[in-house]
Chains A and B, each alone.
Chain A
Amino acid sequence: MPSEESKTHSIGAALVVGGGIGGMQAALDLAAGGIKVYMAERGPAIGGVMAQLDKTFPTNDCAMCTMAPRLVEIGRHKDIDILTLCEVEGIKGQPGNFTVSIKKQPRFVDETKCTGCGACTSECPVTLPSEFDQKLGPRKAVYRPFPQAVPNVFAISRRGTSPCEAGCPIHQSAQGYVTLIAQGRFDEALKVILRDNPIPSICGRICTHPCTSACTRSDVDDALNVPGLKRFITDHFPNYQLPQPTAPERSERIAIVGSGPAGLLCAYELRQKGYRPTIFEALPVAGGMLAVGIPSFRLPRNILNAELDRMRAIGIEILLDTPVGRAITLEELRKSYAATFIAIGAHIERKLGIPGEDLPGVTGGVEILRRINVQGPVAAGRHVLVIGGGNSALDAARTALRCGAADVTIVYRRTRSEMPADPREVEDAEREGIKFRFLAAPKSFRTGPDGRVAGLEVQRMRLGPRDASGRPAPVPVTGSEHILHCDGVIVTIGQVPDVNALGEKLGLATTKWGTLQADPLTLETGLPGVFAGGDCVTGPDVVVTAMLAGKKAATSIDRWLNQQDLHAGREAEGPFHTQYVVDTTGVLMQRQVLVQALDPTTRGKTFAEVQVGYTPEEAIAEAKRCLACGICCDCHLCQTACEAHAIDYSQLEQKRELNVGAVILAPGFEAYDAHLKKDLGYGRFPNVITSLEFERILSASGPYSGHVQRPFDKKEPKRIAFLQCVGSRDSENDYCSSVCCMYATKEAIMAKEHLGEGLQCDIFFMDLRAFGKGFEQYYHRAQEQGVRYIRSRVPIIEEVAKTRDLVVTYLGEDDRKLSQVYDVVVLSVGMQPPKDVKTIADCFGISLNSFNFCGTSVFQPAQSSRPGIFVAGPFAEPKDSPETVMQASASAAQVLALLKDARGTLIAPKVYPPEKDVAGEEPRIGVFVCHCGSNIGGVVNIPDVVEYAKTLPNVVYADSNLYTCSNDTQDGIKKKIEEHNLNRVVVASCTPRTHEPLFRNTLAEAGLNPYLFEMANIRDQCSWVHMHEPQQATRKSKDLVRIAIAKSRLLQPLHRQMIPIEKAALVIGGGVSGMTAALSLANQGFDVYLVEKEKEIGGHLRQTFYLLNGDKPQDELARLTREILQNDNVHLFTDATLESIEGTIGNFKTRISVGGQTTEVKHGVAIVATGAKEYQPKDYLHGQDKRVMTQRALEARLASGEGFSSGAANGHSQTVVMIQCVGSRENDHPYCSRVCCTDAIKNALKIKTLSPQTNVYVLYRDIRTYGFKESYYTKARQQGVVFVRYEEDRKPEVSPNGVGLQVTVYDQTLGTPMMIPADFVVLSAGIHPNDDNKAIAQFLKVPLNSEGFFLEAHMKLRPVDFMTDGVFVCGLAHSPKTIDESILQSQAAAARAAAVLIKDNLELEANISEVVDQSCDGCAYCVDTCPYKAISLVEYMWSGQIKKVVDTNETTCKGCGCCQATCPKNGIFIRGFTLDQIRAQIEAALEVA
């Protein structure tokens, strides 16, 4: 794309990477601002880590309850595309126009078809540890991470074809049926077997099972006995039947020559496709080599015949004694049959070519086996030699033994390890008494007196170099000839096909080995319509190879008859290899379960089957050894269970490109891998768990259903220890993870709530970092509830061997070593960047900081190092949810400014048909009842409910749907509305919370008012809660449907009101927050009224002279001020006061007074950025002694150059003592001021830079340098700043001391007091709320918290909003915070405000309260009840009297209904929930179905 063009055209779309709360917030803010959003999430569902959390601090709200509505909102947002299982591979372009390439992993479930009913998961036999439950609980291979997952679709964990399946020529899903056998699900196992193999009872006995050779288990001990298990299933169901063909019958007849495995498979496959195949068999028995080449003690005749009968039972004709070439010619076949498959096998013996081979007594192995199999036992001699080393040799030898031979010896020219025969067969034969003569090659036969064979001359061999077959070649040893005496010899050195039997000159080409020539892939011969396969093409091979040939032939014939390409896409038919390696470390040794066999000493006399087979118990034990290499076992049960046909195993990795204008990165964090701290025993001691695991244990939806138990023995713990800073604040990770102190506190409180006061919770910590809003109070509450805080880092945990309890040794008072035994130890693991952070950085071309996080700068805190790419959440720095949400909104604000010209270009507003007027019409109700697959239909009798609905008055149509929410059903509903002229719709299905908007939308699309809709939740309330009482569930469903219908009769069309929005914003406060918010909005194109009470803008930034990272705040201040002054959209009022603010969202009126002159401005939103003030301390001689100052005064002093020189007047280096928590964390101001520790360290480091000789002491209570600030704490210590901890009740004392000052402090670590002679004392004074907060709060009808800071709508997820719409908060007015945090919150406020301002009209909710003037007598009960302050009392003159009525502010009303409930006169009601409607519901409820 030419760069000129891309510069001018920005794309109105953005990519959000990561679907946690950060990504979600960014997506919602962008979409609200008119930007199309793609959300790329690498997992199968969005939600991030917060979805896994139990409760949130400091409010103890349920995390899932808090975020679920947001999940739903995103899930159904028309402008947000969720791309799950996606990762970004690369990005090109520049800000405004990027091209992003995305790779999507296959889900194996069609997202457009899956309805999330869950039928698949209950069928799935594969159980895995659930990642969502931190591997403490199970999940299935087809799964949804958690019930509220968005998108609400399932996914399959599928690594690819397992080695057994890949190794099998016909790709039987061995893992599939083995897994089912392991669970005792034998009938399903049979179904899986029959899917690919119609002759399993034969394969289970004689297949050479390449699946076992490929088995991963052989890396551990023995391969699985897959054929044994297959045979077990066929033995278990001796009368199983093959599936009847379901395909439409075809007229074409197919001829198959030969009834061996190739012919049988071909016939079966063709029959399943609807063809009628006829098999021509030359012999009097069917089965080919199966029948005549394999002795019955390995494959009993009844087993073979049963398989043949099953073939016949589905319509396969087998003509015996019909040799093609004699009884019927190939030409005749070609004329009468549409296609022919030649599978005549290889039945002609190969000859040794040595003298005496024609002597009586010398026979071929196939010949003797054929004779025995057709005619019954025939003696081969008393002393028999068998020549050869293959399976046929063993079969022949063992048959000879059973035919009465006294001794049988196998003569083979190489050694045992080179024998091509199956080693197990060799062992079996040896057990029966067969002898072996290795390294002996036949030279000639010797004749006996009776003219029969009497001996075999053999020559000794030795092994030479490897030959073409890869085996050592036998080399004759000269002069070693000798004679073996015998009276019978069986030669089994291979066979060739009897091609000539088919007739001469057929046009079929042959090879030099005498086999037929055929295309290896399609099996086509030179003759059109004639295919050939099996031994007659390959030469003698194993049964499963012949079966593959049969299958291939069937496919080719079918394609040929349908004139399709014979070659396309058939590569996977052949054997293929899996791409992955299975990790077998840690798998315990467990040898193969041996198959019972007949006693070898006696079985050699009979033809009874040698192997007895597994018992069910043995089979289950053996099957359980499977290592589940492919994860998904490929049983296809889910596919069968899924009525929506959403399962799609053929999905492959996909790539796509997206065109976006900007990117927001919110890929989240990785919890620290606690295994790395070996001394803490994680992974070794079962009861040492991580905090995230404990979070799941606490959760009601967790692995133990919210019962707090320890993993090892599920015992309820009595003592829990929490170990802080695991993977944080050490030399590897020199940063603080910011959240662990508080989440440990929360987990301790919640654990005590679950298990009662008796539970002992001890938190071992170093510095308790309760720096956030309300955190300090939360910490105190925990202490009051008995949570013990022990200041000791625990380096080592030991386990009590017997009880698996854990011993924690720690340092108590006075450095005493103490030990305590705990039931559970929770490791508070820190936050790490994502494992592949380097790849992410490379992919996006962004740089990382020294901690491998995506560092940002103080004044651009949402900006990555690459323009157009923004960041949010812990990916930038460890942080908590509100900071993540703020940063996400801030990123969105930046994107909205960047793409302001392209806003709305990729978002098409939805157009609905004109609404039908149904006023005055008789209700015509359509009822749609949902099966939800089997989710509802499996319990509730749906047809019954439908029939019942039809009987109810006004119901003109009722029917059921498999999935009412699916896309095609929406079209169906629209059609029915049309056909039956419906004017009310009732859906009986799941919850309105997720689905009501969907159905309302369907009504609107059909031209009906969307409020003419009612829903009955028969899933949650019937099929779920009454799962085991189907009859009652059905009855209740009818009740709910009747109630819904009753209400629907009274439904009236409702309309949402539109209010025009004043497209301007008021920003109160001109500090860094106010300036940033104002600029952010102005850059998005909105007018901003910026009001500052002081003469100059800049706020506290004016007194900030340097920063820890070396940035120059004064330069930034100058830049900000310049931008504010130069921006035409910003209207600045300095030295101004607010006289009044009136109105609500969309329409505020504010009077601003500047120097006595009042201006009135109109605006749609207001942002509170009023800041806070520094506390002016009254103690520590502050104000009395000039040498005692605050940090801010010190900063000014340092900035002015009036530093602390090392060579002071009196010759010694000077000493500065800093005292922390002055005016914070005290009775009057119980909260932490968050920034003072960092500020003190900043100034201490500055002092050390200016004069390294100056001594700096910091007297603190907890050092709260969260996030990367920790590294500056480290730096300060390294530079010699001395940190001394004191307790609140033992505060330091400052007194004058002759020339200087002296500070006395009790060092808590040593337990000793000490005196520090000081030249200066610096107080870290806290941040206190502004005094005029109250007035502003009243103007805007927003609350303050108990400390006097503004109180946001929700502490975690709505940190810049108020409960009052259209008003936002940022900066210090909200709570103490750093500059970058203030900037983030200001940008976030701007993003939230922009979402309001971008719309032309404000669309109000339709279900809100309405006053009935005639009935209202102005008693005003409702005014106080209204939680949203939406109702006010108005008085007006009416017919000469004062009339009092209430008035609802429709923009503020949320339709909660409190007013309607309090009104004694029916003077106020909620639209859509009128008393009549509710009465009708109640009456219907009381009727009897």
Chain B
Amino acid sequence: MAVGTIPVSDPTLLADIRRYGKFDPTGCYQCGSCTLSCDLVENSTTFPRRSIRYALLGLRQPLLASLDPWVCHDCGDCSIVCPRQSEPRISMITLRRFLSAQYEWTSIGSRVRQSNAWYLGSLIFVTVFTLLLIVGYHLWYIALAPRDFAGNTLGVGLEHMFPIMTYYTLAVVLLPLMLLLSRILHIWQLTMGGADKPRIPWSTYVVEAWVYAYETVAQPLMHKCKEHSRWLGHSLLAVGTVLMLAIKVFALRWFQTDNIYPIYHPQRWLGYLGAAFIIYGLLDILNGRVWAKKEIYKETKFQDLVFPVLLLSTAVTGLAAHIFRYFGFGLTCHFAYALHVVIATPMLVIEMSFGKWSHMVYRPLALYFLAVRERAGQQAPAAEVVPHAI
């Protein structure tokens, strides 16, 4: 292979990575204990040693092209076993933050992830904006005593108060989703589609597509970790979040209404189920993070706490609005719902687009790509990637 294709060591890479969090595996003497301790390491995916080594050696391109950091489910066995106490787990977290920022084409993500000021600022900005919209809407409502299209005066209640919110909510959810989708292409280019990588037929992508969904909701890899006590909470949280997102996007009418539904109606049991999953999952995580007894919950950053707190507040306010309505406290319900919207909006816009929530998209995507790679390798064993040679 020509010298030109040999990766060049870039000593600035380490500094770039360290902007996203702690990355101190400098005691590392490459013994490999971390990789050996990991239950998720298989033949084609090996980490943390390899991933960390890319970073230490300044090999930027191989690092960006690697999907391995997303296989890591953060259990911390490697940190326990590391004879140098280099905490590879934390390095892997930082690497994922770094990679998430690299996948983006805006610079907002990297700023939000690097700086809590940016993070809080953006959250506050969206919150204020939403609040202003709601206050403005109410002012407009009081001033103009709006009528419906048939000319009837509108009354108090979710159905009357927030009809326009339907479209607004759709925007709040769909906008970040669109942003995320746009990055998928970038990730594909970095990891699967570069000129130096073997071509994989589209059919393989189609065949393996189920992996994406499966990994999103069931998270089988997390269950493979030695520390799988958190699997239930985390996957219930994922199921609950997907469920709530889906029904809020596609059936917002069920919720933004003053109708009292019977208990067998999906609005009731699907909603309860989703809320229960989310609240259980979040309490589980928050409980772990606050006490930080287990390796997996060590080194909790500010953003790691704000996100679950926001999500929990969203769920609780939504549930409160629901309860107030069913108990007939109309005005209270009204304000609770307003609060719900004020919390949910910044969370959706910022977290989903630029923050921690994006891992919900990236991780299954990486696992999906790896599955595709594996299948492609199986189908065409001859096209094995020959390691670089001088």
Contact residues in B for A1449 (Cβ distance below 8 Å):
none
Query: Considering only CB atoms, which chain B residue lies closest to A1291 in the complex?
Result: B390
Asked if B30 and A1309 make an inter-chain contact with CB atoms under 8 angstroms apart, the answer reads yes
Q: How far is the CA of A1277 from the CA of B28 in the complex (A)?
A: 7
> Which residues of A (715-733) have their CB < 8 Å from a CB of B?
725, 729-731
Q: Evaluate whether A1310 and B53 lie within 8 angstroms (CB atoms) in the complex, with A793-B33, A1315-B3 already known.
A: yes
Asked if B11 and A815 make an inter-chain contact with CB atoms under 8 angstroms apart, the answer reads no
Contact residues in A for B59 (Cβ distance below 8 Å):
1310, 1312, 1314
Contact residues in B for A1273 (Cβ distance below 8 Å):
29
Residue tally, chain B, CB below 8 Å to A? 40
Contact residues in B for A648 (Cβ distance below 8 Å):
none
| Cβ-neighbour of B57 out of A679, A729, A814, A1284 (below 8 A) | A1284
**Interface 1/0 per residue, A265-304 and B, CB below 8 Å:** 0000000000000000000000000000000000000000
Asked if A793 and B8 make an inter-chain contact with CB atoms under 8 angstroms apart, the answer reads no
Interface flag for B26 (CB, 8 Å): yes
Q: Evaluate whether A1282 and B27 lie within 8 angstroms (CB atoms) in the complex, with A792-B36, A811-B32, A815-B46 already known.
A: no
Q: Evaluate whether A1315 and B9 lie within 8 angstroms (CB atoms) in the complex, with A796-B37, A817-B36 already known.
A: yes
| Cβ-neighbour of B27 out of A725, A1277, A1306, A1317 (below 8 A) | A1277
Contact residues in B for A1310 (Cβ distance below 8 Å):
50, 53-54, 57, 59, 62
Q: How far is the CA of A1311 from the CA of B388 in the complex (A)?
A: 8
Interface flag for A1179 (CB, 8 Å): no
> Which residues of A (692-750) have their CB < 8 Å from a CB of B?
725, 729-731
Asked if A1278 and B27 make an inter-chain contact with CB atoms under 8 angstroms apart, the answer reads yes
Q: How far is the CA of A811 from the CA of B53 in the complex (A)?
A: 15
Q: How far is the CA of A1304 from the CA of B46 in the complex (A)?
A: 24
Interface flag for B142 (CB, 8 Å): no
Interface flag for B89 (CB, 8 Å): no
Asked if B9 and A1257 make an inter-chain contact with CB atoms under 8 angstroms apart, the answer reads yes
Contact residues in B for A793 (Cβ distance below 8 Å):
31-33, 36, 83
Q: How far is the CA of A163 from the CA of B360 in the complex (A)?
A: 68
Asked if A1282 and B56 make an inter-chain contact with CB atoms under 8 angstroms apart, the answer reads yes
Asked if A1277 and B6 make an inter-chain contact with CB atoms under 8 angstroms apart, the answer reads no
Interface flag for A816 (CB, 8 Å): yes
Q: Evaluate whether A810 and B9 lie within 8 angstroms (CB atoms) in the complex, with A1310-B50, A1310-B57 already known.
A: no
> Which residues of B (30-70) have their CB < 8 Å from a CB of A?
30-33, 35-37, 41-43, 46, 49-50, 53-54, 56-59, 62
Contact residues in B for A234 (Cβ distance below 8 Å):
none
Q: Which of A1215, A1255, A1273 has the most CB of B within 10 A?
A: A1255
At the interface, is chain B mostly helix, strand, loop or mixed? loop
Interface flag for B81 (CB, 8 Å): yes
Q: How far is the CA of A1310 from the CA of B57 in the complex (A)?
A: 10
> Which residues of B (136-172) have their CB < 8 Å from a CB of A?
none
Query: Considering only CB atoms, which chain B residue lies closest to A817 in the complex?
Result: B41
Q: How far is the CA of A1379 from the CA of B46 in the complex (A)?
A: 43
Contact residues in B for A796 (Cβ distance below 8 Å):
36-37, 81
A1180 CB to closest chain B CB (Å) equals 15
| Cβ-neighbour of B29 out of A766, A811, A1215, A1313 (below 8 A) | A766
Asked if B27 and A795 make an inter-chain contact with CB atoms under 8 angstroms apart, the answer reads no
Q: How far is the CA of A793 from the CA of B28 in the complex (A)?
A: 12
Q: Which of B14, B26, B29, B33 has the most CB of A within 10 A?
A: B29
Q: How far is the CA of A721 from the CA of B28 in the complex (A)?
A: 24
Q: How far is the CA of A814 from the CA of B386 in the complex (A)?
A: 12
A1291 CB to closest chain B CB (Å) equals 10
**Interface 1/0 per residue, A1278-1290 and B, CB below 8 Å:** 1110111100001
> Which residues of B (58-96) have their CB < 8 Å from a CB of A?
58-59, 62, 81, 83-85
Q: How far is the CA of A809 from the CA of B37 in the complex (A)?
A: 9
Contact residues in B for A792 (Cβ distance below 8 Å):
31-32, 36
Interface flag for B195 (CB, 8 Å): no
Contact residues in B for A679 (Cβ distance below 8 Å):
81
Contact residues in B for A1263 (Cβ distance below 8 Å):
29
Contact residues in A for B85 (Cβ distance below 8 Å):
731
Query: Considering only CB atoms, which chain A residue lies closest to B11 in the complex?
Result: A1255
Q: Evaluate whether A1313 and B36 lie within 8 angstroms (CB atoms) in the complex, with A679-B81, A1293-B390 already known.
A: no
> Which residues of A (1240-1285) have their CB < 8 Å from a CB of B?
1255, 1257, 1263, 1273-1274, 1277-1280, 1282-1285
Interface flag for B206 (CB, 8 Å): no
Q: How far is the CA of A1316 from the CA of B62 in the complex (A)?
A: 15
**Interface 1/0 per residue, B105-146 and A, CB below 8 Å:** 000000000000000000000000000000000000000000
Asked if B50 and A815 make an inter-chain contact with CB atoms under 8 angstroms apart, the answer reads yes
Asked if B387 and A1312 make an inter-chain contact with CB atoms under 8 angstroms apart, the answer reads yes
Contact residues in A for B32 (Cβ distance below 8 Å):
792-793, 810-811, 815
Interface flag for B7 (CB, 8 Å): yes
Q: How far is the CA of A810 from the CA of B53 in the complex (A)?
A: 18
> Which residues of A (1309-1345) have their CB < 8 Å from a CB of B?
1309-1317
Q: Evaluate whether A1278 and B36 lie within 8 angstroms (CB atoms) in the complex, with A731-B85, A1293-B390 already known.
A: no
Asked if B53 and A1315 make an inter-chain contact with CB atoms under 8 angstroms apart, the answer reads no
Q: How far is the CA of A1382 from the CA of B312 in the complex (A)?
A: 69
Interface flag for A1137 (CB, 8 Å): no
Query: Considering only CB atoms, which chain B residue lies closest to A1312 in the complex?
Result: B388
Contact residues in A for B36 (Cβ distance below 8 Å):
792-796, 809-811, 817
Interface flag for A349 (CB, 8 Å): no
Interface flag for B389 (CB, 8 Å): yes
B362 CB to closest chain A CB (Å) equals 23
Asked if B35 and A1213 make an inter-chain contact with CB atoms under 8 angstroms apart, the answer reads no
Contact residues in B for A811 (Cβ distance below 8 Å):
32, 35-36, 46, 49
Q: How far is the CA of A1307 from the CA of B8 in the complex (A)?
A: 12
Query: Considering only CB atoms, which chain B residue lies closest to A765 in the complex?
Result: B31
Contact residues in B for A1280 (Cβ distance below 8 Å):
14, 26
A735 CB to closest chain B CB (Å) equals 13
Asked if B6 and A1315 make an inter-chain contact with CB atoms under 8 angstroms apart, the answer reads yes
| Cβ-neighbour of A816 out of B43, B53, B58, B390 (below 8 A) | B43
Q: How far is the CA of A1311 from the CA of B3 in the complex (A)?
A: 16
Asked if A1315 and B7 make an inter-chain contact with CB atoms under 8 angstroms apart, the answer reads yes
Q: Evaluate whether A1313 and B28 lie within 8 angstroms (CB atoms) in the complex, with A794-B36, A1293-B390 already known.
A: no
Q: How far is the CA of A796 from the CA of B81 in the complex (A)?
A: 9
> Which residues of B (296-327) have their CB < 8 Å from a CB of A?
none
Query: Considering only CB atoms, which chain A residue lies closest to B7 in the complex?
Result: A1314
Q: How far is the CA of A767 from the CA of B29 in the complex (A)?
A: 10
Asked if A1312 and B62 make an inter-chain contact with CB atoms under 8 angstroms apart, the answer reads yes
Q: How far is the CA of A845 from the CA of B219 in the complex (A)?
A: 61
Q: Which of B42, B57, B388 has the most CB of A within 10 A?
A: B57
B2 CB to closest chain A CB (Å) equals 11
Query: Considering only CB atoms, which chain A residue lies closest to B30 in the complex?
Result: A1309
Contact residues in B for A1213 (Cβ distance below 8 Å):
11
A1081 CB to closest chain B CB (Å) equals 43
Asked if B9 and A1314 make an inter-chain contact with CB atoms under 8 angstroms apart, the answer reads yes
Q: How far is the CA of A793 from the CA of B8 in the complex (A)?
A: 28
Q: Evaluate whether A817 and B390 lie within 8 angstroms (CB atoms) in the complex, with A793-B33, A795-B37, A1277-B26 already known.
A: no
Q: Which of A1255, A1274, A1312 has the most CB of B within 10 A?
A: A1312
Asked if B49 and A815 make an inter-chain contact with CB atoms under 8 angstroms apart, the answer reads yes
Q: How far is the CA of A725 from the CA of B14 in the complex (A)?
A: 29
Query: Considering only CB atoms, which chain A residue lies closest to B1 in the complex?
Result: A1313
B72 CB to closest chain A CB (Å) equals 14
Q: How far is the CA of A1153 from the CA of B153 in the complex (A)?
A: 124
**New contact pairs (6) apart from A1282-B58, A1313-B388, CB-CB < 8 Å:** A810-B36, A816-B43, A817-B42, A1309-B53, A1314-B57, A1315-B3
27 A-B residue pairings within 8 Å (CB atoms): A731-B83, A766-B29, A766-B30, A792-B31, A793-B32, A794-B33, A795-B83, A796-B81, A811-B32, A811-B35, A814-B387, A815-B35, A817-B41, A817-B46, A1273-B29, A1279-B26, A1280-B26, A1282-B9, A1282-B58, A1293-B390, A1310-B50, A1310-B59, A1312-B7, A1313-B6, A1314-B9, A1314-B57, A1314-B59
Q: A residues touching B (Cβ–Cβ < 8 Å)?
A: 679, 725, 729-731, 766-767, 792-796, 809-811, 814-817, 1213, 1215, 1255, 1257, 1263, 1273-1274, 1277-1280, 1282-1285, 1290, 1293, 1304, 1306-1307, 1309-1317
